[in-house]
Amino acid sequence: MKKNHLQNQFSLLFYQLSDNFLYNSFAMLKIIGKYSSFVMLINSLNSNAIAYYSGINDLPIYIFTITLTFLILTSLKLGIRFPLNNKLYIIIFIIIFLSLILTPLWTSYKNIIICIGPLASFFTLLYLDRKDLKSITWIFLTLNLPIAIYEYFSFSYLYDFTGNIYGNEVKIVAYEDLMRSKGLFASCLGLGYFAMFSSFIFNNDIKIISVSLILCLLGGSRQPLVMVSFVLLVYLMTHFTSKNLILTTLIGFIIIALSIMFLQQQSIERILMTADFKNDSSNEFRIIFWLFGINTYLFEYSFLQQALGNMGYFQEKIGYNAESAWLTLLLDTGFIITFFYVILFAYLAIKLFIIKQYKKIALLGLIFISMGTVPLIFNLNQNMYFWIFILFIIDNNNLQNIVNSNFEICPKNSVSKTDNVSLMLS
């Protein structure tokens, strides 16, 4: 009798230790996933600065690859069940799957980030919630703000970036006639689009919107400036009643006055020429690249290439992308994958309309339009924040729930298993 009692006690102790070990293993994997996600996001935001200051140009690629591998292995180890019953994720997985299986058919992989970017964003958001992302975004915005101010008024960059533009190796340096801050990014557009996506994702945070607007002004990023201004206008309209109309008007006048006082005359003129496609040289170049892209797709691609794409062909031929995300998608991935991107936007718009999220529909529409006029998603940080915006727009915590539902399979001090053991042994 005493011997049986000891056996029962040892058995119960064994199952309790197994429960605790399994729980601690899950907890440790979640910690690994969370820190890997932090590294992934910070690396994507600082990729150019990391490459410059480390002296290793491919270091951000190594960090990205290793971190993504960690995230995938951690998720597999946690046994995460992906939500294949969710139409949004099904569309995203189709885009990823088609991109990956078509890669052997393409000329090069210069824009490969559009294939692996959604995958990286998905796994990153499994472990980072909206609060984590907001903290990282705010820190990075406020870190870039003093750097951008210093660059703007000192007419010098924190570091110069060398890249390939129009087929030539170009060093991005400060110009005396027009200064456009870039902060820790490779270019002023990188800073501007990071600010734009930040304001879109956190469109109810006036601090993020305000800092984003200042960064767009300092960077002379015209389209992001228009977009962030729209977000600010919507915020003021939805948060201030008619009684506070004077305050709203005053804020607008202060922003305009500060812009006139501190911005260079050339910067103001450039902003005013945003929609001028006749006299603005950058807009003229943009139209030329659009026409080159359309001509290449219609007359140089075979039907198979039109359907499946030929990544890198246009960029190797011209030395640059087509200055349009939609056109570059069409050239690089073909009309099949591009069609699923359109389906993605249509699905989100319908879903948002059903739940009466009209402000989010407007933001989604602005992203859709922006993709027609600039190569919005072909940079690591822009692509990451684009997919974060897409994944957050319906449900802020849906991806977190995927991990948590798996984690709850093995709760700490699980009583169900030990209670069953006790019943069997009694």
Averaged pLDDT, 113-121: 84
Question: 223 or 138, which is more confident?
Answer: 138
Task: List the one residue out of 389, 396, 397 whose CA is nearest residue 117.
Answer: 389
| pLDDT-based confidence at residue 374 (cuts at 50, 70, 90) | confident
Helix ranges (H only) for 155-280 are 188-201, 206-219, 222-239, 245-262, 265-272
pLDDT computed for residue 410 by the predictor: 41
Q: Please report the DSSP string for 242-272 in residue order.
A: GGGHHHHHHHHHHHHHHHHHHS-HHHHHHHH
Cα distances (angstroms) measured from residue 373 to each of 165, 325, 370: 18, 7, 5
Residue whose token pair is 């198979």: 304
Cα diameter, the chain: 98
Cα distances (angstroms) measured from residue 286 to each of 111, 210, 310, 328, 419: 19, 29, 21, 13, 69
pLDDT digits (tens, 9 = 90+) for 380-416: 888 888 998 988 887 655 555 554 554 443 444 443 3
pLDDT computed for residue 18 by the predictor: 43
pLDDT computed for residue 326 by the predictor: 93
Predicted model pTM:
0.80
Averaged pLDDT, 253-271: 59
pLDDT digits (tens, 9 = 90+) for 283-300: 777 888 889 999 999 999
Least confidently predicted of 54-58, 77-81, 144-148, 201-205: 77-81
Residue whose token pair is 């539902």: 405
pLDDT computed for residue 264 by the predictor: 55
Residue 200: burial class (beta carbons within 10 Å; 0-12, 13-18, 19+): buried
Domain borders along the chain are: 2-425
pLDDT at 336 exceeding the cut of 80: yes
pLDDT computed for residue 418 by the predictor: 36
| pLDDT-based confidence at residue 146 (cuts at 50, 70, 90) | very high
Please report, as a single letter, which amino acid is at residue 54.
S
Cα distances (angstroms) measured from residue 264 to each of 17, 102, 250, 260, 261: 68, 47, 23, 8, 8
Residue 279 · residue 289 · CB < 8 Å = no
Q: Whole-angstrom Cα distance, residue 34 to residue 29?
A: 9
pLDDT digits (tens, 9 = 90+) for 153-195: 887 888 776 655 544 555 555 455 567 788 888 888 889 999 9
- DSSP 8-state class, residue 161: E
Percent of the chain with pLDDT over 90: 15
